Amino acid sequence: MKKCAGVFFLGAFLSGCASQSVQTELAAVDDGGSQSYYASGWIVQSQKDEEHLVELAVHEAKQPWEEVTAVLYLENSSDEPLTVSINDITLQQDERQVSLRSYAELEQQYIGQAQSRRTAIALGALAQSLSASQPATTSSYGSGAAYGPGGTVNYYGSSTTYSRDPAASAAAQAQIQSSAQSGIANIRSELQRNLNSLEGYLQTTTVFPGQTFMGRFQSEMTVFDQRPESFYTFTVELGEESYEFTFVEKANIENNRRKLF
Protein backbone atom coordinates (compact mmCIF):
# COMPACT_ATOMS: atom_id res chain seq x y z
CA MET A 1 0.00 0.00 0.00
CA LYS A 2 2.79 2.42 0.84
CA LYS A 3 4.45 1.77 -2.51
CA CYS A 4 1.22 2.39 -4.40
CA ALA A 5 0.61 5.60 -2.49
CA GLY A 6 4.09 6.79 -3.39
CA VAL A 7 3.55 6.03 -7.06
CA PHE A 8 0.23 7.88 -6.99
CA PHE A 9 1.80 10.93 -5.35
CA LEU A 10 4.68 10.96 -7.84
CA GLY A 11 2.24 10.71 -10.75
CA ALA A 12 0.21 13.61 -9.41
CA PHE A 13 3.37 15.68 -8.96
CA LEU A 14 4.66 14.93 -12.44
CA SER A 15 1.30 15.79 -13.98
CA GLY A 16 1.85 19.40 -12.92
CA CYS A 17 -0.23 22.07 -11.25
CA ALA A 18 -3.64 23.36 -12.26
CA SER A 19 -4.52 26.96 -12.99
CA GLN A 20 -7.95 28.42 -13.46
CA SER A 21 -9.04 31.14 -15.85
CA VAL A 22 -12.39 32.84 -15.47
CA GLN A 23 -14.12 35.05 -17.99
CA THR A 24 -17.45 36.68 -17.21
CA GLU A 25 -19.92 38.81 -19.09
CA LEU A 26 -23.27 40.37 -18.31
CA ALA A 27 -26.48 39.89 -20.23
CA ALA A 28 -30.00 41.20 -19.76
CA VAL A 29 -32.79 39.02 -18.40
CA ASP A 30 -35.99 40.26 -20.01
CA ASP A 31 -39.39 39.69 -18.53
CA GLY A 32 -42.79 40.74 -19.80
CA GLY A 33 -42.43 44.32 -18.57
CA SER A 34 -39.01 45.31 -19.88
CA GLN A 35 -37.06 45.54 -23.11
CA SER A 36 -33.32 45.52 -23.57
CA TYR A 37 -30.83 46.80 -26.12
CA TYR A 38 -27.09 47.39 -26.46
CA ALA A 39 -25.34 50.74 -26.83
CA SER A 40 -21.54 51.18 -27.02
CA GLY A 41 -20.68 48.39 -24.61
CA TRP A 42 -23.62 49.03 -22.30
CA ILE A 43 -26.61 46.74 -21.77
CA VAL A 44 -29.76 48.82 -21.32
CA GLN A 45 -33.04 47.63 -19.87
CA SER A 46 -36.07 49.86 -20.37
CA GLN A 47 -39.49 50.02 -18.73
CA LYS A 48 -42.24 52.49 -19.56
CA ASP A 49 -45.66 53.24 -18.15
CA GLU A 50 -48.03 56.19 -18.40
CA GLU A 51 -46.00 58.37 -16.04
CA HIS A 52 -42.37 57.31 -16.35
CA LEU A 53 -39.76 55.96 -18.68
CA VAL A 54 -37.06 54.27 -16.60
CA GLU A 55 -33.90 52.78 -18.06
CA LEU A 56 -30.99 51.14 -16.29
CA ALA A 57 -27.72 50.30 -18.03
CA VAL A 58 -24.68 48.26 -16.94
CA HIS A 59 -21.32 47.64 -18.59
CA GLU A 60 -21.32 44.45 -20.64
CA ALA A 61 -17.75 43.65 -19.56
CA LYS A 62 -17.21 42.81 -15.89
CA GLN A 63 -14.45 41.01 -14.03
CA PRO A 64 -15.22 38.54 -11.22
CA TRP A 65 -15.56 40.29 -7.86
CA GLU A 66 -15.53 43.67 -9.59
CA GLU A 67 -18.03 46.35 -8.59
CA VAL A 68 -20.96 47.03 -10.91
CA THR A 69 -21.10 50.41 -12.65
CA ALA A 70 -24.59 51.42 -13.75
CA VAL A 71 -26.47 54.39 -15.20
CA LEU A 72 -30.05 55.37 -14.41
CA TYR A 73 -32.12 57.32 -16.95
CA LEU A 74 -35.53 58.76 -16.11
CA GLU A 75 -38.22 60.66 -17.99
CA ASN A 76 -40.97 62.15 -15.84
CA SER A 77 -44.21 62.30 -17.82
CA SER A 78 -46.40 62.69 -14.75
CA ASP A 79 -47.92 65.88 -13.36
CA GLU A 80 -45.90 65.70 -10.14
CA PRO A 81 -42.22 66.36 -9.42
CA LEU A 82 -40.21 63.26 -8.63
CA THR A 83 -37.15 63.09 -6.37
CA VAL A 84 -34.60 60.35 -6.96
CA SER A 85 -31.49 59.45 -4.96
CA ILE A 86 -29.10 56.56 -4.42
CA ASN A 87 -31.30 55.48 -1.51
CA ASP A 88 -34.11 54.71 -3.96
CA ILE A 89 -32.06 51.97 -5.61
CA THR A 90 -31.14 48.54 -4.22
CA LEU A 91 -29.00 45.78 -5.72
CA GLN A 92 -29.38 42.09 -4.98
CA GLN A 93 -26.78 39.55 -6.15
CA ASP A 94 -28.35 36.13 -5.86
CA GLU A 95 -29.08 35.76 -2.11
CA ARG A 96 -27.06 38.73 -0.87
CA GLN A 97 -27.60 42.45 -0.98
CA VAL A 98 -24.79 44.58 -2.40
CA SER A 99 -24.40 48.11 -1.07
CA LEU A 100 -24.37 51.05 -3.46
CA ARG A 101 -21.84 53.83 -2.95
CA SER A 102 -23.08 57.37 -2.52
CA TYR A 103 -21.50 60.52 -3.95
CA ALA A 104 -20.60 61.71 -0.44
CA GLU A 105 -18.96 58.39 0.40
CA LEU A 106 -16.74 58.42 -2.68
CA GLU A 107 -15.89 62.09 -2.22
CA GLN A 108 -14.87 61.49 1.40
CA GLN A 109 -12.81 58.46 0.36
CA TYR A 110 -10.82 60.48 -2.16
CA ILE A 111 -10.30 63.35 0.29
CA GLY A 112 -9.27 60.99 3.09
CA GLN A 113 -6.75 59.21 0.88
CA ALA A 114 -5.23 62.55 -0.15
CA GLN A 115 -5.00 63.73 3.46
CA SER A 116 -3.27 60.51 4.53
CA ARG A 117 -0.72 60.82 1.74
CA ARG A 118 -0.07 64.50 2.54
CA THR A 119 0.51 63.61 6.20
CA ALA A 120 2.97 60.87 5.24
CA ILE A 121 4.93 63.27 3.02
CA ALA A 122 5.02 65.95 5.73
CA LEU A 123 6.27 63.51 8.37
CA GLY A 124 8.89 62.14 5.99
CA ALA A 125 10.10 65.65 5.16
CA LEU A 126 10.29 66.52 8.86
CA ALA A 127 12.41 63.44 9.62
CA GLN A 128 14.75 64.21 6.71
CA SER A 129 15.01 67.86 7.77
CA LEU A 130 15.96 66.95 11.33
CA SER A 131 18.57 64.52 10.07
CA ALA A 132 20.04 67.09 7.68
CA SER A 133 20.28 69.72 10.44
CA GLN A 134 22.44 67.54 12.68
CA PRO A 135 26.16 68.46 12.76
CA ALA A 136 28.72 66.09 11.30
CA THR A 137 30.73 64.26 13.93
CA THR A 138 34.28 62.93 13.80
CA SER A 139 35.56 60.64 16.54
CA SER A 140 39.20 59.76 17.23
CA TYR A 141 40.66 57.26 19.63
CA GLY A 142 44.16 56.89 21.12
CA SER A 143 46.12 54.98 23.66
CA GLY A 144 49.60 54.99 25.16
CA ALA A 145 51.83 54.04 28.04
CA ALA A 146 53.83 56.07 30.61
CA TYR A 147 56.91 54.67 32.24
CA GLY A 148 58.31 55.77 35.58
CA PRO A 149 59.91 54.61 38.80
CA GLY A 150 56.62 53.28 39.99
CA GLY A 151 56.00 51.18 36.94
CA THR A 152 54.07 51.49 33.72
CA VAL A 153 50.68 53.19 33.33
CA ASN A 154 48.51 52.54 30.28
CA TYR A 155 46.03 55.16 29.23
CA TYR A 156 43.25 55.41 26.65
CA GLY A 157 41.38 58.40 25.30
CA SER A 158 38.88 59.52 22.70
CA SER A 159 37.65 62.80 21.31
CA THR A 160 34.64 63.85 19.26
CA THR A 161 34.67 66.82 16.91
CA TYR A 162 31.44 68.48 15.76
CA SER A 163 31.37 70.45 12.54
CA ARG A 164 28.70 72.25 10.55
CA ASP A 165 28.56 73.11 6.89
CA PRO A 166 25.85 75.81 6.61
CA ALA A 167 25.87 75.80 2.80
CA ALA A 168 25.46 72.01 2.55
CA SER A 169 22.76 72.04 5.22
CA ALA A 170 20.83 74.79 3.43
CA ALA A 171 21.06 72.93 0.11
CA ALA A 172 19.80 69.73 1.72
CA GLN A 173 16.89 71.55 3.36
CA ALA A 174 15.95 73.19 0.05
CA GLN A 175 15.97 69.80 -1.72
CA ILE A 176 13.79 68.28 1.00
CA GLN A 177 11.27 71.10 0.78
CA SER A 178 11.21 70.96 -3.02
CA SER A 179 10.55 67.21 -3.02
CA ALA A 180 7.80 67.58 -0.41
CA GLN A 181 6.10 70.39 -2.33
CA SER A 182 6.28 68.39 -5.56
CA GLY A 183 4.72 65.37 -3.86
CA ILE A 184 1.94 67.45 -2.34
CA ALA A 185 1.25 69.08 -5.72
CA ASN A 186 0.91 65.63 -7.29
CA ILE A 187 -1.51 64.58 -4.56
CA ARG A 188 -3.56 67.74 -5.08
CA SER A 189 -3.69 67.11 -8.82
CA GLU A 190 -4.74 63.48 -8.37
CA LEU A 191 -7.42 64.51 -5.88
CA GLN A 192 -8.84 66.98 -8.36
CA ARG A 193 -8.93 64.30 -11.06
CA ASN A 194 -10.75 61.92 -8.72
CA LEU A 195 -13.27 64.60 -7.77
CA ASN A 196 -13.78 65.48 -11.44
CA SER A 197 -14.49 61.80 -12.14
CA LEU A 198 -17.56 62.12 -9.90
CA GLU A 199 -19.18 64.50 -12.38
CA GLY A 200 -22.48 62.96 -13.43
CA TYR A 201 -22.60 60.69 -10.37
CA LEU A 202 -26.08 60.13 -9.00
CA GLN A 203 -27.03 62.68 -6.33
CA THR A 204 -30.40 63.53 -4.86
CA THR A 205 -32.27 65.34 -7.64
CA THR A 206 -35.83 66.51 -8.19
CA VAL A 207 -37.09 65.76 -11.70
CA PHE A 208 -39.98 68.06 -12.60
CA PRO A 209 -42.79 67.14 -15.02
CA GLY A 210 -41.54 66.99 -18.59
CA GLN A 211 -37.89 66.78 -17.53
CA THR A 212 -35.33 63.99 -17.83
CA PHE A 213 -32.51 62.88 -15.55
CA MET A 214 -29.47 60.65 -15.91
CA GLY A 215 -26.99 59.66 -13.20
CA ARG A 216 -24.20 57.14 -12.85
CA PHE A 217 -23.55 55.03 -9.75
CA GLN A 218 -21.52 52.02 -8.63
CA SER A 219 -21.74 49.21 -6.13
CA GLU A 220 -19.37 47.76 -3.60
CA MET A 221 -17.33 44.72 -4.64
CA THR A 222 -19.42 41.77 -5.77
CA VAL A 223 -18.93 38.06 -5.02
CA PHE A 224 -17.77 35.26 -7.29
CA ASP A 225 -18.35 31.76 -5.88
CA GLN A 226 -17.74 29.60 -8.96
CA ARG A 227 -21.35 29.64 -10.10
CA PRO A 228 -21.86 29.41 -13.86
CA GLU A 229 -24.53 32.12 -13.54
CA SER A 230 -25.10 34.89 -11.02
CA PHE A 231 -28.13 37.17 -11.11
CA TYR A 232 -28.10 40.90 -10.34
CA THR A 233 -31.43 42.55 -9.66
CA PHE A 234 -31.74 46.33 -9.38
CA THR A 235 -34.91 47.70 -7.80
CA VAL A 236 -35.72 51.37 -8.39
CA GLU A 237 -38.40 52.94 -6.17
CA LEU A 238 -39.98 56.06 -7.68
CA GLY A 239 -42.79 57.39 -5.57
CA GLU A 240 -45.28 54.56 -5.22
CA GLU A 241 -43.96 52.72 -8.26
CA SER A 242 -41.28 50.03 -8.28
CA TYR A 243 -39.18 48.96 -11.28
CA GLU A 244 -36.97 45.85 -11.41
CA PHE A 245 -34.07 45.26 -13.78
CA THR A 246 -32.30 41.89 -13.82
CA PHE A 247 -28.99 40.99 -15.42
CA VAL A 248 -27.15 37.67 -15.44
CA GLU A 249 -23.39 37.30 -15.09
CA LYS A 250 -22.32 34.25 -17.08
CA ALA A 251 -18.99 32.71 -16.14
CA ASN A 252 -16.76 30.63 -18.38
CA ILE A 253 -14.43 28.70 -16.06
CA GLU A 254 -11.50 26.81 -17.56
CA ASN A 255 -9.16 24.60 -15.56
CA ASN A 256 -5.74 24.31 -17.18
CA ARG A 257 -3.15 21.77 -16.08
CA ARG A 258 0.53 22.44 -16.78
CA LYS A 259 2.97 19.53 -16.75
CA LEU A 260 6.14 20.05 -14.74
CA PHE A 261 8.16 17.35 -16.50
Residue 25 sits at the vertex; the CA angle it makes with 110 and 98, to the nearest 5 degrees, is 45
What confidence score (pLDDT) does residue 112 get? 93
Q: What CATH number does domain 18-102+200-258 carry, 2.40.10.220, 2.120.10.10, 3.20.20.70, 2.60.40.10?
A: 2.60.40.10
Phi/psi for 168 (5° steps) reads -65, -40
- What is the pLDDT at residue 126? 78
Alpha-carbon dihedral sign for residues 200, 202, 205, 211: positive
With both helix axes pointing from N to C terminus, report the angle between 166-196 and 103-133 in degrees, rounded to the nearest 10.
170
Parse the chain into domains and list their residue ranges.
18-102+200-258
pLDDT in tens, the chain (261 residues): 444 444 433 344 344 555 667 777 888 897 767 889 999 889 999 999 999 999 999 988 788 888 999 999 999 999 999 999 999 999 999 999 999 999 999 999 999 999 998 888 888 877 777 776 666 555 566 565 556 566 666 656 565 555 566 777 777 777 878 888 888 899 999 989 989 989 999 999 999 999 999 999 999 999 888 888 899 999 999 988 999 999 999 877 766 555 544
Q: Where are the alpha helices (DSSP H) in 136-239?
A: 166-196
Q: What is the pLDDT of residue 42?
A: 92
pLDDT of residue 43: 94
Q: How far is CA 52 from CA 44, 84, 182, 207, in A?
A: 16, 13, 51, 11
Q: How far apart are CA 180 and CA 118, in angstroms?
A: 9
